[in-house]
Amino acid sequence: MLKFLIISLVILSGVFLPLIAQTTPSELIVEGRWVNPPSHDPGIPSEIYHKNMPAVEYQDATVPPQPPVRMCAEWEPAVSVLIRYPLGLPWDLVEDLAQDVHVTCLVSSSNYSSAQSQFTSHGISPSQVDFVITNTDTYWTRDYGPWFVFDGQDAMGISDHVYNRTYRVDDDQSNWYLAPDLGVELWKTDLRHTGGNFMCDGHGVGMSSDDVYNYSFNSTITQDSVNNLMNAYWGIYTYHAFPDPLGSYIDHIDCYAKFLNEEKIVVITNGVDDYNLNQVANQISGLTSCFGGNYQVVRLHCPDNHDAAYVNCLIINSFVYLPLTGYYDEDTAAIHFYERELPGYIVKGYQDYSFEPTDAIHCRTKAIYDPGMLYVDVNPHVDTADLKVKALVHDYNGMGVKTDSVFLVWRFSGDSLFTNYELMDQISGFPDSFQAYLPLPVSEETLSVDYYVFAADNSGRHSTDPYTAPGGYYNVDYEVMGIEEGTEHIVPPERIAIFQQNDKLVFRSSAGLHNIEKISIMDITGRIRSEINRHLLATGGNIIVLDLDRLDLTSGIYLITVRSDQNNYTDKINIIR
């Protein structure tokens, strides 16, 4: 409780405001936490706040990043989480962030010693946290913190907005101190914005509540001009804005919706604003995603009467950090929701007295992305014409993709392990583009395939899409696609599909396997492990099946060459026994 609360009221412009005498930080902060945290929004008419706040001297806008510009999606590879001290987060969450990812903490020079002491006392080592010395007004790093983009030269930097809470001068200026600490460039736009009212898919599609067009400065130019500035500074070429369905004081989209991936968006229900929320959900489901299909909208119940903020979670690397309410059944349902919708992610839950439906973990954290990330991007819509999977694999570190280490990894649905590694071909003329083919069904049990793409580069990084593979993966249902067992015409005739099915090694070709002379199997050391000559092969159809036990192959990667009287076909496969 504040020690110096003065009961008297002053009438200012017809509004009654409580006066609070000066209070030192030590009286407001206990063990690094605000004991009486401020509201996310002051709840005071903005014109009154503006009258009583000092004038803001903003840094001049800079030229935008060199195009093409790409803004990072929330789920892309990150190296740290940005928070602020004094904290607005429970210590058990901060400890996990430091252990699971890394923490970058904004702190003033006057609080630096206290921050060091508190982090150490909670078991966080100096190697797990970086402190950036700068003044801040609040702990909402989501709102004023960095928006990371890659420019046309593959350089990651901060493309900074003017924080729409213009009276929070130190918050708005903090990125000018953060950028040099991270060693990245900062570009500045005149646009007013706030991170809690923005989400994007990493492909140039952004979404907000439509209050963005009412922010100061933004309201003085046309909506097209606002959108054009977003395109220039953030690479956002498609921008969707929705009426705030909650009718709340804050109008932030992260209070009711969230991208889970490029095609899936969660929209909450809360038992109070469901009519408006359903309107937004229906509107989103009718929009086209970056991959050409409509968005899949999934719903998550966040009971208003229990202050649930389940959508205001942080997704980073392979973790979901979820605010909980203490109501067991509802919390458990929310955890199961994210485990179901984001397979492979580890979901961790946290309670805190300061969490509200409009202000929880997402509002108070911000990812710092890997400037040298290996970016793997798969369009999950497989064409029935050829079952081809295409992937963009780009090394932002500039050290080069290992073209012999880009694999389409798959299994027939129902198999416990991914046992098939198809080396993806680099597409001629497009050095970042790779392709490979999924297998045709060979029986009624093989009418569905799970897959992901794995890649490695010369920096030592490796990555997958989906990010949490093999826990997360894409699926192709051949029956839904109209492909049946025995379908032949969709596979290029020069291709031979080679894959493991239980204890068998299967070869399949739509052109037939009539002219096979020899099959050679070589391990990664270059030693020939097995050679099967024509007279031992049951050729004549479209399938050859070999017994792995008779081939005496153990687990490992093998190079298989199929020699015919016309040409040779070579592929890699990963055998798992």
User: How much of the chain is in helix, strand and coil states, percent to nearest 5?
Assistant: 20, 35, 45
Token pair 């064409």: residue: 383
344 and 195 in a common domain: yes
Q: Is residue 415 part of a domain?
A: yes
Alpha helices in 367-426 (DSSP H): none
Same domain for 146 and 282:
yes
Kind plus residue range of the DSSP H or E element containing 435: strand 433-437
The CATH number linked to 116 is 3.75.10.10
Q: Are 447 and 519 contained in the same domain? A: yes
Residue range 246-278, pLDDT digits in tens: 998 899 999 999 999 999 999 999 999 999 999
Let me know: does 279 contact 245? Beta carbons within 8 Å: yes
Cα gap 499→449, rounded to integer Å: 12
Cα separation, 401 vs 462, in Å, equals 10
**How many residues are present in the chain?**
577
Query: Is there a contact between 574 and 421 (Cβ–Cβ < 8 Å)?
Result: yes
Q: Is residue 429 part of a domain?
A: yes
The range of the structural domain enclosing residue 443 comes to 387-575
Asked if the structure places residue 14 within a domain, the reply is: no
Q: Which two tokens stand for residue 168?
A: 């929070």
The Cα-based distances of 136 to 31, 78, 139, 173, 215 in angstroms read 18, 23, 8, 8, 21
* 349 shares a domain with 225: yes
Best CA proximity match to 454, nearest among 429, 427, 479, 472: 472
CB 124 within 8 A of CB 98: yes
In-domain check, residue 354:
yes
Same domain, 439 and 348: no
Question: 108, exposed or middle or buried, with CB in 10 Å at 0-12, 13-18, 19+?
Answer: middle
d(CA 511, CA 494): 7
Tell me which residue of 497, 499, 438 sits closest to 473, measured CA to CA. 438
Q: Are 175 and 201 in contact (CB under 8 A)?
A: no
Q: Are residues 301 and 206 in the same domain?
A: yes
Q: Which of 105, 255, 302, 363 is catalytic?
A: 363
Which of residues 369, 399, 430 is at a domain's end? Answer: 369
Considering just the CA atoms, what is the radius of gyration of the chain in Å? 28
**pLDDT score of 501 more than 90:** no
Residues 193 and 335 in one domain: yes
What percentage of residues in the chain have a pLDDT greater than 90?
Answer: 67
Average pLDDT score over residue span 24-33: 51
Q: Of 141-155, 175-189, 406-420, 495-509, which gets the smallest average pLDDT? A: 495-509
**β-strand 185-193 against 504-508: which pairing, if any?**
unpaired
* Pairing mode, strands 504-508 and 543-547: antiparallel
- Chosen domain end from 304, 335, 369: 369
Q: Is the pLDDT of residue 214 over 60?
A: yes
Residues 109 and 241 in one domain: yes
How many structural domains is the chain composed of?
2
Whether pLDDT at 550 is above 50:
yes
Model pLDDT for residues 356-392, shown as the tens digit of each residue = 999 999 999 999 999 999 999 999 998 877 889 999 9
- Indicate the pTM of the whole model: 0.83
Tokens of 6: 């003065």
**CATH number assigned to the domain comprising residue 444:** 2.60.40.3080
Residues 106 and 224 in one domain: yes
Asked if 357 and 424 sit in the same domain, the reply is no
Tell me: do 293 and 320 sit in the same domain: yes
| pLDDT-wise least confident of 118-127, 295-304, 412-421 | 412-421
Asked whether the beta carbons of 132 and 85 are under 8 A apart, the reply is no
Rounded Cα–Cα distance for residues 22 and 3 (Å): 10
Q: Are 327 and 396 part of one and the same domain? A: no
Would residue 200 show up in a list of annotated catalytic residues for this protein?
no
Q: Compute the distance between CA of residue 153 and CA of residue 378 in angstroms, rounded to an integer.
A: 22
- Vertex 210, ends 151 and 156: CA angle to 5°? 15
Q: What would you measure as the largest C-alpha separation in the chain, in angstroms?
A: 101
Beta bridge partners of 516: 564
* Structure token pair of residue 307: 């202050």
Specify whether the CB–CB gap between 295 and 284 falls below 8 A: yes
